[in-house]
A and B are shown apart, each in its own frame.
Chain A
Amino acid sequence: MQRQIPLFLTSLVGLTMLLYYFIPHPLIATPGHFFEDSVIIVVAFAIVLGSANVLKINGEAVLRRGKDWPYKAILLLSMFLMIGIGLTDGPARYLTPESRFNWMYDTFYASMQSSMFALLAFFIASAAFRAFRIRNVDAALLAVAAVVVMLGRVPIGNLLSSGLPQSIQFPEMANWLMEIPQNAAKRGILVGAALGVMSTGLRIILGVEGSFMRGGEGR
């Protein structure tokens, strides 16, 4: 009962969305539109659930004075501050340029997220020195392709090869590499992945794949 009905619901919704692609008749299209609109709302609740889970995990750590609990207390304070400001600003104002919520977004969220990702540049350089090993023909091919693309996409590559015939200048070679061999392999991966997604989707719709229904058993 706890598994069968949800699995049936999965199949029903999945089959409706599948048929909706082919059949515009209101018998299929009307429930299809309803499921589209419903999923938008349910997924939004799922994201809020994620925030609530952050609260639960870090709240428990603070209460039992776990590892790094002062930092987790700051985490929770900042979360409540953000939620409080967002709720008081209201739906009409909260993302306008002059709002406090937007200021918090610009000052904290945008700057820190950008900085976190900017760190990757340093690690990719370090990894290029310490981990990129050309041990065989395959790795050499990978390295050559990487070098051609890295030089072909930036002005310095254009400058270095400007004296050569156009067909073997770095930008031209990079374009050819992207359009022919790279594209062919990527298309092969795309087609293979599409077959995988289709088979998994059909398994879910036919009720063969039920592993996502695990979890939620009463403890």
Chain B
Amino acid sequence: MIAFLAKLREMDRRWIFLLVWILVMIPLIFPLRLPLAVSPPVKQYYDEIETLQEGDIVLLSADFDPASAPELVPMLNASLTQLARRKVKIVADCLWPGGPPLLEEGLRVVLEEEFGYVYGEDFVNLGFKEGREAVMLSMGNSIPGTFPVDFRGRNVADMPLMRRAQNLTSVTLLVNISAGYPGTKEWVQQASSRFNLRIISGCTAVSAPEYYAYLQAEQLFGLLGGMAGAAEYENLVGISGPATKGMDAQSSVHIFIILCIAMGNLTFWAARRQEQR
């Protein structure tokens, strides 16, 4: 047994790759639909949007790119769905260069096609702007000044919604879908106390642990972390999206990783025993 375990240590890693491939593929094709528990930060995120009144202006900052799309696009779409049900006005922007088409697709599919939102009156897509924190501060001063034209090159100042959404103090809530820098951390640092802006965040699982500190300090009022957070949120909003459907695969690979850690240490111990003999 010890010899076998010691030999296992020299296993070609491509066998591990193959197992991961199988353990992700199978549950996607044959889902188990295991029930999800909703965590408190996700409930807070949902409840914060539920407090919005019809006509409130929400700034939605989609700060991500295709690399984080599996975690964040479900959050974006579910957030847009809940916001549209609350009949709020949405001003959307993007601070990551890879993000604009992803944001545009979410706005078009959910707001325009599903909820019949009218562009310019109910929602505006400001598009991308470089400058990171400088953009946030500039928006605090004037949103039309920072984004003179929208995603399609149209004059922003002429749009009915933008006559109300002049700067960050006109905004009731910031919904930030964030993959890293610039993102939630920078919005909290630059906008939460300076412009008295309430912020909720949907972020990648890598970033989420750090943002619990902001959540506890009430600099954030809701937090979705990774695909699990997206799935829990989809559950609350009542949609069965790609995040929910991916959780079975997530479960199986997590179990596999735990077994890898256990087996890795067992094989290491076995190899040491063999060397000592």
Contact = CB atoms under 8 A, between A and B. Distances in A.
Please say whether the chains A and B touch (CB closer than 8 A).
Answer: yes
Interface of A: 21, 33, 36-37, 39-40, 43-44, 47, 90-93, 95-97, 102, 105-106, 109-111, 113-114, 116-117, 121-122, 124-126, 128-134, 143, 146-147, 150-151, 153-159, 171, 174-175, 178-179, 182-183, 186-187, 190
30 contacts: A37-B145, A39-B134, A40-B129, A40-B130, A40-B131, A40-B135, A92-B152, A92-B153, A95-B152, A96-B152, A111-B66, A113-B98, A122-B16, A125-B17, A125-B253, A126-B17, A128-B257, A129-B260, A132-B264, A151-B254, A151-B258, A155-B34, A155-B37, A155-B247, A155-B248, A155-B251, A157-B251, A182-B209, A187-B216, A190-B213
Interface string B238-254: 00000000011011111
B98 A40 contact: no
A153 B232 CA distance: 10
A159 to B, nearest CB: 6
Interface in B151-209: 151-154, 194, 209
Contacts of B153: 90-92
A109 B34 contact: no
The size class of the interface chain B forms with chain A is 35 or more
A121 B37 contact: no
Contacts of A125: 16-17, 19-20, 253, 256-257, 260
Nearest to B265: A134
Contact of A129 (B69, B137, B263): B263
A43 B127 contact: no
Secondary structure call for the A interface: helix
Interface of B: 13, 16-17, 19-21, 24, 34-37, 39-40, 65-70, 97-98, 100-102, 104-105, 108, 127, 129-132, 134-135, 137-138, 141, 145-146, 149, 151-154, 194, 209-210, 212-213, 216, 225-226, 228, 247-248, 250-258, 260-261, 263-265, 268
